[in-house]
A and B are shown apart, each in its own frame.
Chain A
Amino acid sequence: MVSETYRRPEPRQPSRRVWAWFRLRGRGASGWAFVLHRLTGVVLVFYLLLHFYVLSNLARGPQAYNAIISAMKSPWVTLLEVGLIAAVLFHGLNGLRLMLMGLQIGVEQQEAMFWGALVVSALFTVVAAALML
């Protein structure tokens, strides 16, 4: 039954304690999906702000921009970028899954779609890492 498998507001239950969002015990696949979606969402917001900061160097002229770009050539930054790719891929693919669920499409397959999102993002991340590292 659709209504039993999927109750849309499940992820957004009020909780005073932020850590309660990330508690994994006793969650099913959709709970893991929720935790990962939220975590990657927060990571991406921080990245967006960082991206603004890096690009703000464009306003300071060619030297400033070229300098910050070469400063980011470090392998540690590349490693973080691989993590960023993983976060974007999972968040995007799982976001599509959440949309389908919101439209009541494939609700019965939501668990399979979660694993699909996870596997596909892992595969593409490995490919990207192989190209970058």
Chain B
Amino acid sequence: MGNILELKNINKIYGTTVKTQVLYDINLGFKEGSFNSIIGQSGSGKSTLMNIMGTLDTPTSGDVVVDGVITSGMKASQLASYRNQSIGFVFQFHYLLPEFTALENVLMPYRIGHKTVPKETTDRAKELMKLVGLEKVMNNNATQMSGGQQQRTAIARALLNQPKMILADEPTGNLDSLSTETIYELLRDINDRFGTTFIIITHDRRIAEKADRIIEITDGRINLDLLKNN
């Protein structure tokens, strides 16, 4: 299978007067359906890299190629549609909308792209809530849930549009180890079931070792790119 996402000679420099280079000549390709982890010290540039992969941020030089198209040539509205259709984000801080219920939050990516929500989509949202073990609290407001529940809701939300790729930035960063374990089981399970590509940032080596591929970033450079053959 081909690469769903490719990074070519990515450099990222922050600041205009005081320049800080955060990423140096990154070249990476991700296979469709693969389960990847990115590890590295805090401040090594992982989040910066992920935001560039997700088209939220732009590299100072180099190209991001999605489905064979260079993203720098796309208009803001095209990028927004692409993100809506093809990427599911899970951030360290879940980012649910506190004005909406858990189920409404899960449905949000679909509503952004469509005028009306058919019953099948609502049913799928409920199915996903069940998958993440939250069918009992899906009508709670986002603020009336525990951290772990909110993060699982964010995962269900990332899955709703059946994106080809899920980008997760330390999705379990502020969870206890038991919740962390459950969430990783869940992500692996989804990867197996739907063939969704996963790129997960973590600084938990135990978790990283469960991935098919481990990429280690050190000071903005790829220090290690380990592909497990199982």
Q: Do A and B bind each other?
A: no
Residues on A facing B (Cβ under 8 Å)? none
Residues on B facing A (Cβ under 8 Å)? none
